[in-house]
Each structure stands twice: as structure tokens, then as C-alpha cells.
Structure 1
Amino acid sequence: MPSSPRNRIGEIYGQLTVVRASERRTKAGNAYWWCRCSCGREREVPGDKLSLNTTRRKPIVDACETCSRERQVEGVCLKNDQEEKDRRSQAQLDRSKLKGVVPERWLTLPLTDAHARELGQTLFFRGTRCLRGHLAPYRINGGCQTCSGQTPSAGDWPQAKPTGS
């Protein structure tokens, strides 16, 4: 018969507060505990998943399933926002080096595909070459304009020739 578990009632782990013991046991013999989340939902959690040690290798439970999912989505959104911000700043840097090399109207296009969607446009110009080496605007979900035969590459673009001589 397994030993009686340590009394955890009232202890707080993240957003969970232990409210009562459960009748269930894990295969390893650990007790389950009923915990109430800060949002008011209750969740049954194995005792070995309740921990304040964030560096341990085992996964820990610190919120109800709904709150955990929301925090996970928020984390992904924050990561995606940061990556988009980094893409836009890199595109700005790449485009600044191309002034006078590419047509001026390309430099007024949105910086990334997400930026173009925000502005309701279909073209964007990052200032980088496609896989085939073209330097041209891109269509949202459509690839390089030169690859699709719609726009000449900036390498093929007629440059202004000096007058006189």
C-alpha cells in the first residue's frame, strides 16, 4: 500500500492553488490533487507535475488547460511579432543599399508580405534576391515577379547613362 502523500492543500504553483486531494494515483504511486486556477476552473493534476522548480527536466503544470493554451498562443504570437519586426528592419536595411540601383517605385512598396497584407496590396519588395538570383518585387503567395515573367530584374534594368562626352 502506498504511503500517504504530503499535504499540499493551500500551496500555490503558478496560477494553480491546491484545494483538495484526489482519490486517484499515478502508475508510479503519486497522488493526484484538485487545483483551482486563478480563472476559477479546476483541474486534477498529478503531484509530480506540481513544482516550483522551473529548471527541472520534467514538465510542470501551472495553469488550467484553457489558460495554458491561451498563454501558449500568446507566446507564439509574441514570437511571430518579433520575427516580423526583425524581417521588416532587415528589409529596410537591404533596401537602403539599393537606392539608385532599382526603380524608385519599388522602394515605396511594402517591406514584407505581412506588411503588404496590412496595407491591402499584393506586391512587396524586400531588397533581396530570389532563389534564381533576380532582384525584383514579389507577389503575396506568388513569388518573384521576374520568375513569373512580369517584371525585368534590377540587374537587367536599364540604368541612367551619363550624358555628354
Structure 2
Amino acid sequence: MPSKPRNRVGEIYGRLTVVRPSDRRTKGGNAYWWCRCVCGREREVPSDKLSHNTTRRKPVVTACLECSKELQVEGVYAKNDREEAERREQAKRNREQLIGQVPSTWLRMPLTDAHARELGEVLFFRGTRCLRNHLAPYRINGGCLACAGQVPSAVVTNPHQELI
């Protein structure tokens, strides 16, 4: 017979507040608890998933299913925003090194494809080389313009020079 679990009623884990015990048990013998989310929905959660330790290896439940999905989507958006900001900063650094080496019109183009979409433009210039070593603007749907034969690549004195 499994031991009686400690009373968790009233404890708060993320957005969940434990409201009452459940009759269910996990295969490992842990008790389930009914928890109420801040949105008002209830969720049955095993006690081994309720924890304040966010660095543990086991997954931790901190919200109802709907709020968990929202939190996951918000996390993905935040990550994408951080990565886009890093790409724009890198593009600025790359372009600063190319002043005088490429046409000034290229330096006035958007920094990334997302930046070009925000501005309603089709072309952008990161200041990096394509796989065929061209230094040219890109289309937002992908592809170096020099590879497509639309715009000549910028003249570079050292063709093996890496621009990262």
C-alpha cells in the first residue's frame, strides 16, 4: 500500500493552485492532484510534475493545457524575435566593413528578409557571401541575385576573403 502523500492543497506552482487530491495514482505510486489555473480551468496533475525546481530534468506542469500552449507559442515568438535582432546586428556589422566596397544603394537596403517584409520590399542585403562566393543582394523568397544573373557581384580584391 503506497504511503499517504503530503497535503499540497493551497500550494501554487506557476499558474496552478492545488485545490484537492485525486483518487488516481501514477505507475510509480505518486498521487494526482486537481489544480486550478489562473484562467479558471482545472487540470489533474501527478505530484511528481508539480515542482518549483525549473532546472530539473523531468518536465514540470505550470499551467492548464490551453495556457501551456499559449506559453509555448509566446516562448517561440520571443526566441524568434531575439534571433532576428541578432541577425540584424550581425548584418549591420558586416555592412560596416563593406562601406566603399559595394554600391551605396545596397547599404540602404533592408538588413534581413524579415526586415524587407516589414518594409514591403523584395530585396535585402546582409553583407555576406552566398554559397558561390557572390557578394550581392538577396530576394526575400531566397536566392542571391548574382546567382540568378540579375545583378553582378561586388568587385572584391581578394576572392577568398571571408565576410562573416
TM-score by length of 2: 0.90
1:140 to partner: Cα distance = 1.0
The answer to whether the Cα contact below 8 Å between 1:134 and 1:155 also exists between their aligned partners in 2 is no
Alignment deviations for residues 30-84 of structure 1 (CA, whole Å, 9 cap, x no partner): 1111000111111000011111222322111111111112111111111111111
Q: Quick check: 1:53 aligned with 2:40?
A: no
Q: Which has the larger radius of gyration?
A: 1
Alignment deviations for residues 73-127 of structure 1 (CA, whole Å, 9 cap, x no partner): 1111111111111111111111112122111111111110000000111100011
Partner of 2:73: 73
Matches within 5 A, 1:8-157: 8-155=8-155
Once residues 2 and 142 of structure 1 are traced to their aligned partners in structure 2, the CA distance between those partners, rounded to angstroms, is 60
The percentage of counterpart residues that share the same residue type is: 74
1:2 to partner: Cα distance = 2.3
Once residues 4 and 102 of structure 1 are traced to their aligned partners in structure 2, the CA distance between those partners, rounded to angstroms, is 74
Alignment partner of 1:35: what SS?
Answer: strand
Aligned-CA RMSD value: 1.3
Structure 1, unaligned stretches of length 5 or more?
157-165
Letter of the 2:138 partner, please give it.
Y
Structure 2, unaligned stretches of length 5 or more?
157-164
Alignment deviations for residues 120-163 of structure 1 (CA, whole Å, 9 cap, x no partner): 1110001111111000000012310000111110027xxxxxxx
Partner of 1:159: none
Partner of 2:162: none
Once residues 109 and 13 of structure 1 are traced to their aligned partners in structure 2, the CA distance between those partners, rounded to angstroms, is 48
Q: Which 4+ runs in 1 deviate beyond 4 A?
A: none
Once residues 104 and 147 of structure 2 are traced to their aligned partners in structure 1, the CA distance between those partners, rounded to angstroms, is 21
Once residues 25 and 152 of structure 2 are traced to their aligned partners in structure 1, the CA distance between those partners, rounded to angstroms, is 69
